[in-house]
Structure formats: structure tokens, C-alpha cells
Structure 1
């Protein structure tokens, strides 16, 4: 999100992260039985990120939440990068299973809406890089469900992957705008409408910025502002954009079906 740092999580030990994600036991340890489970550490880290942002998730802070020493936390996770991988997969476990028989368009819409809600529950998901995340069972299930929604509709495998990236990318981008706007309201104490009440008269008093010089932007900006009571409405943009993306996919699938030679 704007003004919030992105957290890199691709520099950990991928082997150990994958083992933890899939429940592969590590080497046997001597000493007393551990007081916690790895899942306890992950839940505490997620709660901390939800409350204070991803920057708050450090080994020391998570250990404090659990009432243990920072060094003892390394019994459960090798480091912060691997912990971020576990947190991402844990969050993906909240995604609903889309019922069969919806049709590909309704299924993709349900998937996108569910992910939009997930980002709003866990804004820190937009602050972590995912291109090198160690894939766990919930992240695999997420991708499988996204692909299953469009399997067999006439797209090639590479195109299916691209469609999933297109839809999930739209969700991420618009959710980021939505959360940025909410963060600005909290930080300034002003809604968009209140901010424009202050800025609008100043702008109106500048001759070079009047409608005569910028007729289209003035007309469209006024219409959008009146419709949304704000400069922008990320939720509207998300749903409008999703519908247009699905229209494009549907047009491609229809064209492919028309070009397919009849079965002999």
C-alpha cells in the first residue's frame, strides 16, 4: 500500500518452509516437549499483522505475544521469511470452497469476491511479495480452485494461468486502493467528501483549472464524484473491471468455439 513498505519473503530456506507448510517433521530434538505448535506461532503472527501491520511481525514481537523467549521461537520456525510463507498459506485457508455447477463466470466472480474480502480482513497480504512464496496446501488449493473454474471452457493451459493472474491481479490492485483510501481517512480524520469540500473551492478559484480548459475531465470528474461521493470508488472499480474482464474472456471463448471444426 502507498506509504507502507513491501516485505520480501523469498530469501528464506525454501526447503524448510515447504516442509513446515506440508507438515514434514524436522530432525529430532532433545530436551523437553515443546510448549507450542508451529500453528500457534502462525496464528499469533497473523493476529499481530492484522492489528499492527506486517512490519510488526518480528521474531521478538511474536515471542512476546506467546510469552516465550525469542530464541525458543526458532524451535518452530527458522526465521521471519519462513514465518511469512506460513502466514500467507494460513490466510489462504480462509478462502471458501466454491460450489460446483455455478458456471465459469459465476465461479470466477465468487472467487474474486472472496479474495477481495480476504484482503480487507488481512491487509498485510498486500504488503508481502508472493512470486517466491513457498506454496503450501492452502495456496495450492486456491490455485487449483481458480483453474477448475475455467477448466474445459476452451482455453489453453497457458491462457488459463493468464486468466487467473488477470483476475487475481485486478482484485489485488483495487483492494490496495480501497485499503489506501481507508488508511488515509484514519490518518487525516477526513473523508474524501470532506477533503474535497476544502480543496474544491481553492481549485475553482484558479482560472487555468476551470472547465473551459479541461472540459472532458471536468464533466467526467463531476459525474463520478457525484455518483461515488468521492474522487474514486475502488469497490465499484473492482466489480466494473471484473465484469469487463469476464466479458473479454467470454468473447474469446465464444470465438474459439465458432472457429472449432464440427465434430465428424
Structure 2
């Protein structure tokens, strides 16, 4: 489900931009089925989203869905566009005079969406067909960068770099949470189990003096073997600091 292949791009454009009317008898629409699919993916993972399962959930035949969602590949794109379009709802991005606050809000909103829909972080980027949701999101984000001293191309590159930072650390955070047992809050117990064997395997800790020092400091401070959520916060702060130096020093 995470690979964006097999999409009929012309069909997808029609589905994205021209909402099909709800069937007079079935009551289904592109929007209603897309929302149903997103909710199912959030609860059970994208693998659970099949045409047959959606048809059963909607109380219609599988054939009744195709005019509204195309095939499974097109449906996945509709789902991603739906989520993109809800990134800044209901209040939108803050119209803050301080551009740093606007950039921080972009990062936080995208981080939140990744936590709400963790399967999105596994989606390959490729060349997605722009839909109304993604286009609305892109417009709002570019406006947050507009007027701070970047060229149009720099705005796009900077935004892309920021979203990549958010998605990368969000993906690592989600993977870390998935690796823990349901009752585990940190990695302390896991580390206590493997530390003696790891120490014996490594032998002389002086082989990796910097790594040993840093990992020990991180573990003592956070109780974690790695801390991608902390990396997200630090990364965004460094990103904004670096951007500030570029635009204010120009």
C-alpha cells in the first residue's frame, strides 16, 4: 500500500478535482469512501484497506465503489490528499508577524499528522498528482515563507527540507514506539537485558569512546536507546536558527 505505483493519473485527476455525486441509492461518494479508508488505515494499518473491505463497511458492492475511487492505487492517493488537506484545519496556520513562529507551526502540524496517521510516513514520495488537499497545504506553507527574504526556488527547497526533517524523525519515532512492548515507556529494561552481552561482544569500550560517552549520556537523560522525538525538536530549532542566519544576514 505504501508504494505509489499503478496509478491512472488522468483518472486520479478527475477523482481529486471533480467530486462525484453521492449515489441516489447507496449514498456513497468519493469523500465518504476516502474518509472511511483513512479511518480504517489508522485503526488497522493500510494493509486492511481493500476494496472488498470498504464495500462491506459501506454496505455496497465492490463494483459500486469504482466510479468514486478508481482502483486501490488511486484510492491511496485520495487518502493522502485528504490527510494533506486537513493538516491545518480547522484554524489554519497562525498569521504571526514572527516568521519563526510560522515555520515552527508548519513543523508541529506536520509532526502531529504523522502521529495521527503513522502509515503516511511510509508512503513513497515519487511524483504525486497534485490534489486540492495537497495544493491547499502547499499554498499555506509557502505563504508562511513568503516575504522573509528567500527566492521562490529557495522557498520551495527550504519547505521541502523542513518537511523531510519532520517526516524522517517522525518515522523513526513511530518505529521506536512500535518496537516496544505495550507496557514499556522507555528502553531501560531492554537495555539492561542486552548491555552485558553487548559489553562482552565489544570488549574494550575504548574502541568507541565518543559513541560510548554520548549513548550513555542519552540513556541517563532520557531512558532511551535513541531519541528521534528529541532530534525533531532540536532539528527544527537548528533549522530555524540556520534559516535566520541566511535571511537576516543577507
TM-score when scaled to structure 1?
0.86
Question: Is 1:18 aligned with 2:13?
Answer: yes
Question: Is 1:180 aligned with 2:175?
Answer: yes
Question: Is 1:59 aligned with 2:51?
Answer: yes
Q: Which has the higher helix share?
A: 2
Question: Is 1:87 aligned with 2:79?
Answer: yes
Can you list the C-alpha shifts for 1:175-199, whole angstroms capped at 9, x where unaligned?
Answer: 0001001111148968422110101
Report the alpha carbon displacement of residue 65 of structure 1 after superposing the two structures with TM: 1.7
Aligned length: 246
Structure 2 SS opposite 1:49: helix
C-alpha RMSD of matched pairs (Å): 2.2
Compared CA separation, residues 33 and 130, structure 1 to 2 (3 A): farther
TM-score when scaled to structure 2?
0.90
Find the counterpart in structure 2 of residue 232 from structure 1. Answer: 226
1:106-255 equivalences under 5 Å are 106-186=101-181, 191-206=186-201, 208-255=202-249
Consecutive unaligned residues of structure 2, counting only runs of 5 or more, are none
1:34-45 equivalences under 5 Å are 34-45=26-37
For residues 117 and 169 of structure 1, the distance between their equivalents in structure 2, rounded to whole angstroms, comes to 14
Find the counterpart in structure 2 of residue 78 from structure 1. Answer: 70
Can you list the C-alpha shifts for 1:106-149, whole angstroms capped at 9, x where unaligned?
Answer: 11111111110101100111122233222222211111111111
Can you list the C-alpha shifts for 1:156-192, whole angstroms capped at 9, x where unaligned?
Answer: 1111111001100000000000100111114896842
